[in-house]
Amino acid sequence: MKTYRFPAKKTWPELVKRPVFERKEISGLITEIFEAVEKDGDNALINFNKKFDKAITPHIAVSEAEINNSENEISDDLKRAIRQAKENILKFHASQITKTEKIETAKEVICWRENRAIEKVGIYIPGGTAPLFSTVLMLAVPANLAGCKEIILCTPPDRNGNINPAILFTAKLCGITKIFKTGGAQAIAAMTLGTTSIPKVYKIFGPGNQFVVAAKEYAQRYGVAIDMPAGPSEVLVIADRQAIPDFCAADLLSQAEHGSDSQVVFITTDLKIFTETIEAVEKQLGNLPRNEMARQALDHSIFILIDSIEEALEFSNLYAPEHLILALEDFEKFIPMIDNAGSVFLGNYSCESAGDYASGTNHTLPTNAYARNYSGVSLDSFVKKITFQHLSKEGLENIGKTIEIMAEAEGLIAHKNAVSIRLK
Amino acid sequence: MKTYRFPAKKTWPELVKRPVFERKEISGLITEIFEAVEKDGDNALINFNKKFDKAITPHIAVSEAEINNSENEISDDLKRAIRQAKENILKFHASQITKTEKIETAKEVICWRENRAIEKVGIYIPGGTAPLFSTVLMLAVPANLAGCKEIILCTPPDRNGNINPAILFTAKLCGITKIFKTGGAQAIAAMTLGTTSIPKVYKIFGPGNQFVVAAKEYAQRYGVAIDMPAGPSEVLVIADRQAIPDFCAADLLSQAEHGSDSQVVFITTDLKIFTETIEAVEKQLGNLPRNEMARQALDHSIFILIDSIEEALEFSNLYAPEHLILALEDFEKFIPMIDNAGSVFLGNYSCESAGDYASGTNHTLPTNAYARNYSGVSLDSFVKKITFQHLSKEGLENIGKTIEIMAEAEGLIAHKNAVSIRLK
């Protein structure tokens, strides 16, 4: 880990830079995969399962029996936990439903917006080291709430050709029954192009490795939208002297265990907290099963001792963290100073993992400084807002002259005529 | 124009396809322009002005005198019109401000969202055949309302090195005083990378030709966001027997005059309206100054006679038009059937040009079937929504077990520890 004591502001732009990881040149491979899926559809997916996931999957679609059986394969405790998390996520996302408000911008000129669900959405859930059923909740709950007519889910099979039962259980709980055994770039290609089994969708959500990320980028050429650009996960913790080093260390480590490229930043105004948090990180690290990954992430983490909380927030806004924890006594007064962050956790008991799983907020958030220009996933991510307007003849009379003058000044005479012909 | 009488549904997917225009291979040129701007900054822009716009511009920044003088160079009528349009646009976009609502998802687990303006935004306004000061209103009004701290505007100079005074006047009226004489891909590069004169921004808005579109796409590699993917403008009009052919024709032509690649679709259930609208288009076309462009657009326009309004809407949803006009008697009853559209105009007096200029709705809308998965520009386009959460110790106790169980099931033990360490 790297420590900085009172770094000069002119060094900050260097400090907030994310390490650039070498990105393998994989665009050729992505193109090949898309071409194979376009040409051979389901058969291509079956072959890729064999090749990349070492799995024999005669059928790409998960059967009803497999889905129903998942309930028997996970503990009651886990089912209860998933249900409670779902309830909280539903409650928070339901609060994001907006009411249509009609505005009379000029007399008898009525304008408003209405939400319409994106009809077809695809959710990608990675396989690999952790079965991310929590991400199923984070994407399927708002998709369902928004009213998306077709919600499909793709996830790679294990070596026995099966899907993790917690993923199947969670999907079913959220009303998703179109689940497909396919992962990586080929899953993204299938949702983009469609196959016999897999319907093509209008928007693709979900995390993934570099192949998935590259495939989502590539998919946009076909008119598909994606949730947001991707990058490694990150947390920035700001602590004052009332913070509890053991808590701060636990939060930093919960970020570090995500992967060796995870970003971890700790800023405090208090020397004692600074020293003790570093010690606590070292101490807690030893007991983690994923400690090798966390150790690598910590190698490029930064710990900063700074003069004031105001300065810490200035640094944080420049960094634009995905997760921001304010382990501060009077956190409320600092909220208005936050400009750039994905999700903010306030006080000593709001740990990041609360938001990762069960408090109700979404955990699909902007990384890699995208918190400057992107929001996290919310109900809005699954709808379009369509504007409507109604002008009576009188309404058009009220703004007609304005339209005619402006259209003429822009040299668009047919635009002017559309008014003139109605008012003459 | 192409006419279809009662086309079979199986032919619709072919009919809704946008014509594919040959896209010149310009990525090499875009890379070169970005490299030149990165290396030579303002000087590169000055050189490009000379090369592409035949303009001598010793200074890239528009001077205060130039901005102030614009007021004297346009008519009082135009000033009055721009002011009225601005007022309506402001009124409608102000209605999009959402209030923060705190939700207690579980006891003492409080979650909410707050809006924060994207700090730095760039607006691109094309030069060329029409000075699009209306687009200045559509982008600057919500940017200002959102509270963006830095709003800059780039637009190419004319051959005398000047900017159209209506653009300058409108920009100033909206509080924008950082205006720069640069156009095309180089303007996008400058806003992405920054130069001595031009600050770099986090999000770029605005229309443009194929070079601008390609540059906006390229800019995203640098972490910049853009308003939306681009395509030619389009209108789809659905008319019943009470529609007025002259009005419908005027609306179709106001779309067609945008450019030879504009998309125009007309659907009616009434043979008389069908025939008379086609005649009216031909008649009105002759009088248009931009009739050659409109004629080319009409060549690939489609006119459809159909059985029912329900079917017309089904076709429209498949097409997903940027602008949808319902020239229908009982338009209200059809609103719920609209799934995919950018902006909808209701009844005989809601012409598209009302929304293009002055009713208050935004005219920056999704084209090329992107109305299936994107919204038009709104206040939301200029803000991020940050989630906040506060859990008291009791709050964490209420959901702690759930977090621990889920984290463990995902194999993320440090996530679990962040809870356990707080609750033990």
Sequence-ordered list of residues with C-beta below 8 angstroms from that of A301, at least 6 positions apart, any chain:
A1, A2, A252, A256, A263, A264, A265, A266
Cβ-based contacts of B410 with chain A (< 8 Å): 130-134
What pLDDT does B274 receive? 98
Q: Identify which of B91, B111, B258 has the shortest CB distance to residue A361.
A: B111
Q: What is the average pLDDT score of chain A?
A: 95
Q: CA nearest A335: which of B112, B372, B75, B349?
A: B112
- Contact of A18 with chain B, judged by CB distance below 8 Å, is answered with no
C-beta of residue A379 within 8 angstroms of C-beta of residue A345: no
B13 and B50 belong to one structural domain: no
pLDDT per residue over A301-327, tens digit each? 999 999 999 999 999 999 999 999 999
Q: What whole-number distance in Å separates Cα of residue B261 and Cα of residue A365?
A: 38
Residue B364: C-alpha distances to residues A187, A202, B132, B155 (Å): 33, 20, 12, 17
B186 and B253 belong to one structural domain: no
Q: How confident is the model at residue A293 (pLDDT cuts 50, 70, 90)?
A: confident
Last residue of a domain, one of A226, A250, A284: A226
Q: CA nearest B367: which of B216, B205, B230?
A: B230
C-beta of residue B18 within 8 angstroms of C-beta of residue B263: yes
| List A311, A322, A352, A404, catalytic entry | A322
Cβ-based contacts of A320 with chain B (< 8 Å): none
Instruction: Answer yes or no: is B386 within a domain.
Output: no
Instruction: Answer yes or no: is A61 within a domain.
Output: yes
Instruction: Answer yes or no: is A196 within a domain.
Output: yes
The backbone torsions φ and ψ at residue B112, rounded to the nearest 5 degrees and listed phi first, read -160, 175
B322 is catalytic: yes
B220 and B236 belong to one structural domain: no
CATH of the domain at A305: 3.40.50.1980
A166 and A306 belong to one structural domain: no
What pLDDT does B74 receive? 95
Q: Which domain holds residue B401?
A: 392-423
Q: What whole-number distance in Å separates Cα of residue A333 and Cα of residue A347?
A: 12
pLDDT (tens digit, 0 to 9) for every residue of chain B, 424 residues total?
A: 999 999 999 999 999 998 776 666 788 999 999 999 999 999 999 999 999 999 999 999 999 999 999 999 999 999 999 999 999 999 999 999 988 899 999 999 999 999 999 999 999 999 866 789 999 999 999 999 999 999 999 999 999 999 999 999 999 999 999 999 999 999 999 999 999 999 999 999 999 988 999 999 999 999 999 999 988 899 999 999 999 999 999 999 999 998 888 999 999 999 999 999 999 999 999 888 888 888 999 999 999 999 999 999 999 999 999 999 999 999 999 999 999 999 999 999 999 999 999 999 999 999 999 999 999 999 999 999 999 999 999 999 999 999 999 999 999 999 999 999 999 8
String of DSSP letters for A213-243: HHHHHHHGGGT-EES------EEEEEE-TTS
What pLDDT does B259 receive? 86
Instruction: Answer yes or no: is A11 within a domain.
Output: yes
pLDDT per residue over A111-148, tens digit each? 999 999 999 999 999 986 678 999 999 999 999 999 99
- Contact of A100 with chain B, judged by CB distance below 8 Å, is answered with no
Q: Which of residues 231-270 of A touch B (CB under 8 A)?
A: 246-247, 250-251, 253-254, 256-258
Cβ-based contacts of B380 with chain A (< 8 Å): 380, 385
- Let me know how long chain A is: 424
What pLDDT does A115 receive? 97
B79 and B220 belong to one structural domain: yes
Q: What whole-number distance in Å separates Cα of residue A227 and Cα of residue B410?
A: 23
Which region holds residue B294: left if phi is over 0, alpha if psi is between -120 and 50, else beta? Answer: alpha
What pLDDT does B22 receive? 62
Q: Identify which of B246, B349, B414 has the shortest CB distance to residue A396.
A: B349
Residue A93: pLDDT over 90: yes
Three-state SS across chain B? Answer: CEEEECCCHHHHHHHCCCCCCCCCCCHHHHHHHHHHHHHHHHHHHHHHHHHHHCCCCCCCECCHHHHHHHHHHCCHHHHHHHHHHHHHHHHHHHCCCCCCCCEEEECCEEEEEEEEECCEEEEECCCCCCCCHHHHHHHHHHHHHHCCCEEEEEECCCCCCCCCHHHHHHHHHCCCCEEEECCHHHHHHHHHHCCCCCCCCCEEECCCCHHHHHHHHHHHHHCCEECCCCCCCEEEEEECCCCCHHHHHHHHHHHHCCCCCCEEEEEECCHHHHHHHHHHHHHHHCCCCCHHHHHHHHHCCEEEECCCHHHHHHHHHHHCCCEEEEECCCHHHHHHHCCCCCEEEECCCCCHHHHHHCCCCCCCCCCCCHHHCCCCCCHHHHEEEEEEEEECHHHHHHHHHHHHHHHHHCCCHHHHHHHHHHHC
Last residue of a domain, one of A226, A252, A279: A226
Q: How confident is the model at residue A291 (pLDDT cuts 50, 70, 90)?
A: confident
What pLDDT does A23 receive? 62
A322 is catalytic: yes
Q: Is B355 in Cβ contact with A387 (below 8 Å)?
A: yes
B271 and B205 belong to one structural domain: no
Q: Which residues are registered as beta bridge partners of B116? A: B384
Instruction: Answer yes or no: is A405 within a domain.
Output: yes
Instruction: Answer yes or no: is B366 within a domain.
Output: no
A90 and A146 belong to one structural domain: yes
Q: Are strands B343-346 and B383-391 parallel, antiparallel or unpaired?
A: unpaired
Q: Which H or E element spans position A71?
A: helix A64-73
Q: Is B360 in Cβ contact with A284 (below 8 Å)?
A: no
Give the A:B interface size as CB pairs under 8 Å: 414
B14 and B92 belong to one structural domain: no
B68 and B178 belong to one structural domain: yes
B58 and B185 belong to one structural domain: yes
What pLDDT does A127 receive? 85
Last residue of a domain, one of A360, A382, A413: A360
B252 and B305 belong to one structural domain: yes
B131 to chain A: nearest residue by CA?
A410
Instruction: Answer yes or no: is B384 within a domain.
Output: no
Q: Any idea which of A18-32, A210-224, A339-353, A379-393 has the lowest mean pLDDT?
A: A18-32
C-beta of residue B189 within 8 angstroms of C-beta of residue B158: no
Q: Identify which of B81, B380, B413 has the shortest CB distance to residue A406.
A: B81
B135 and B271 belong to one structural domain: no
Q: What whole-number distance in Å separates Cα of residue B41 and Cα of residue B196?
A: 7
The structural domain count of chain B equals 3
What pLDDT does A129 receive? 65
What pLDDT does A278 receive? 97
